[in-house]
Amino acid sequence: MATILIVDDNPINREVFVALLEYTGHRLLEAADGAEGLQIVRSARPDLIIADVLMPTMDGFEFVRQVRADPAIAHSRVIFYTAAYHENEARRLAEKCGVIDILTKPTEAEVVLDTINTALGLAEPPAGPPSAEEFDREHLRLMTDKLSQKVAELESVSLRLAALIDLSRNLASQHNPEQLLEDVTTMARQLIGAMVAVAAIVDEEEEALRHFKISGLDDETKAHLSWPSPNEGVNQFLMTERRPLRRRNPGGDSRALGLPADHPSVYSYLGVPITSPSHFYGWLGFRNKLGGDEFSEEDERLAMSLAAQVAVVYENALRYEEIQRHAAELEQRVKERTAELARSNAELEQFAYVASHDLQEPLRKIVGFTQLLAHRYHGQFDAEADEFITYVVDGALRMQNLIQDLLSYSRAGRLPTALAPVDCQVVLARALSNLQAAIEENRAVVTSDPLPTVTAEAGALVQLFQNLIGNAIKFRGDRQPLIHVSAQPARSDEPTPPEEVVAPPAGWLFSVRDDGIGLDPQFADRIFGIFQRLHGRGDYPGTGIGLAICKRIVERDGGRIWVESQPGQGATFYFTLPAGDE
């Protein structure tokens, strides 16, 4: 049994190795990056290390370099595990630091086991002189090496393109510009095969950096880095030329590329602009090619494709931010306008109440004196004068009724002062008592089912029932008025008001049904408006405020009111109210 350490920042990759190797009896250890892996190597002395190449904090190359620099663990056997399209670069790195083999992602389980067994000395590689058949096979391999190399290159490009598509798909769902650039640097570094990747976004004036993200360095190093200037070295080139730039920098001095002196050594550099057809946003920069002295044309093409995707997603993220900001501002404006409208309505209601109340006394005098004038001087003038006096009396009485109804409407809009459980059976009895004269005069029959207790203001409910039953009597037609009042628990399958307004839960659905003249459904909403009448005053008396008052009372208590009717077939008024304590 051997001790094997898996060093990979991707937990899924570690789980795959653990699942594959546990049944063989090996002891498995795990580390999320090179720094953690180095500590485990020094304490556990594993027989074999399988390390990813591109990892945060400390990459695979630096990890192996530090292992080899420590005499106590320098002999440790290491296998690199990397993406298939980075195999060539990984092999060059492996030669530099004494890594014994390379595994590529993805790899067949048999290949993984054979490679590990060979590294541990559990399976000897074949030896001995080749047979004639083997010689011919090797000769054929050499003859087709060029073709195989091209196929491998195409496979590598295909894998990279697939990775680019996955990366673009992941970026497309990101709406936060800051997090977008964080993700871009992490994923782009792995795709391009760079030790370090940066993403820089300039401000509107293109004179300073707005965002600067870097991947491939440990957090402590990143915390002390200076932000580069957009107007120096390679950055200035990308800003002014707005085309890709590749450079070798054998000395490694970051200042030779126009970067701050506190940035780690840069031996090779690739930069591409992040641009849309209408705007320059910044650039992606890649430093120190994995396993090579410089970045390739293929790296450049991939980086350009990636930068174009980043430009689109970054633009969308900015628009999303702007939309969210406008939505928040609009919501705030709506709140302010709603509050302002509520204040205006309250002031208007107060004005209507005061004005109506103050008009009562002078109007009472007008009504009283015009009635006295009509009574005392009737017949003493000509017929036309008597007619004029009648008009004055009628107008004054109508004005008095209108002001009284306006007062009622204004009071109905005020918040109730005494919300309490109210027995609707008692309320209905009071309403019928108030309507006794009209009921007897029109021989109306009013019946009811048992009514519940609701939370409301008793006086307002009396007015609600009185108005609805009074309307049913008024618009009776030629038949004896038959009116029925009922209530049942509100349910979603009950009749619903216009615009699919559903009755509130834990409440009651009331109905007042009559057999009167009915109305056209197209007027079902209109009749609840103030001063809205469907008939002339000569046909049916009233001011057109009664149903508007009903609507205010019901909605003030959190309910809804609506009507269902057909001409000549009567009408049923529905309204909902919250339940009270039984």
The verdict on residue 359 lying in a domain is no
pLDDT tens across 62-109, in order? 899 899 999 999 999 999 988 876 777 788 888 888 899 998 877 788
**CATH code of the domain in which 512 resides:** 3.30.565.10
Domain end, chosen from 320, 339, 373, is at 320
Instruction: Tell me how far apart the alpha carbons of residues 268 and 252 are, in angstroms, rounded to a whole number.
Output: 8
Instruction: Tell me how far apart the alpha carbons of residues 50 and 94 are, in angstroms, rounded to a whole number.
Output: 12
The encoded tokens of residue 571 equal 């009408």
For residue 278, CA distances in Å to 165, 212, 217, 274 come to 24, 22, 33, 11
Q: Do 207 and 259 reside in the same domain of the chain?
A: yes
Q: Could you tell me if 566 and 516 are in contact, meaning their C-beta atoms sit under 8 angstroms apart?
A: no
Task: Please report which confidence band the pLDDT of residue 575 belongs to, taking 50, 70 and 90 as the band edges.
Answer: very high
Q: Do 198 and 292 reside in the same domain of the chain?
A: yes
- DSSP-based three-state secondary structure for 264: coil
The verdict on residue 41 lying in a domain is yes
pLDDT tens across 192-207, in order? 889 999 999 998 887 8
The verdict on residue 8 lying in a domain is yes
**CATH code of the domain in which 176 resides:** 3.30.450.40
pLDDT tens across 394-436, in order? 777 767 666 666 666 665 655 555 678 889 999 999 999 989 9
Location of structure tokens 């292992």: 67
Range of the domain at 454: 415-578
Q: Do 429 and 521 reside in the same domain of the chain?
A: yes
The verdict on residue 358 lying in a domain is no
The verdict on residue 142 lying in a domain is no
**CATH code of the domain in which 71 resides:** 3.40.50.2300
Share of the chain above pLDDT 90, in %: 26
Q: Do 519 and 480 reside in the same domain of the chain?
A: yes
Q: Do 458 and 559 reside in the same domain of the chain?
A: yes
Instruction: Tell me how far apart the alpha carbons of residues 528 and 301 are, in angstroms, rounded to a whole number.
Output: 69
Q: Which pTM value belongs to this model?
A: 0.48
Domain end, chosen from 304, 320, 336, is at 320
- Per the structure, how many domains does the chain have? 3
Q: What does the pLDDT average to over 450-473? A: 88
Residue 500 has pLDDT above 50, yes or no: no
The residue among 101, 94, 93, 9 whose CA lies nearest residue 48 is 101
The verdict on residue 148 lying in a domain is no
- DSSP-based three-state secondary structure for 102: strand
The verdict on residue 28 lying in a domain is yes
- pLDDT, residue 157, reads 59
Can the peptide bond before residue 106 be classed as cis, meaning omega within 30 degrees of 0?
Answer: yes
Share of the chain above pLDDT 70, in %: 79
Q: How many CB atoms lie within 10 A of CB 141?
A: 10
End-to-end CA distance of the chain: 77
The contacts of residue 138 (CB under 8 Å, 6+ apart) are: 130
Q: Could you tell me if 222 and 213 are in contact, meaning their C-beta atoms sit under 8 angstroms apart?
A: no
The verdict on residue 470 lying in a domain is yes
- pLDDT, residue 283, reads 94
Domain end, chosen from 320, 355, 383, is at 320
Please say whether the dihedral angle defined by the alpha carbons of residues 286, 291, 293 and 297, taken in this order, is positive or negative.
Answer: negative
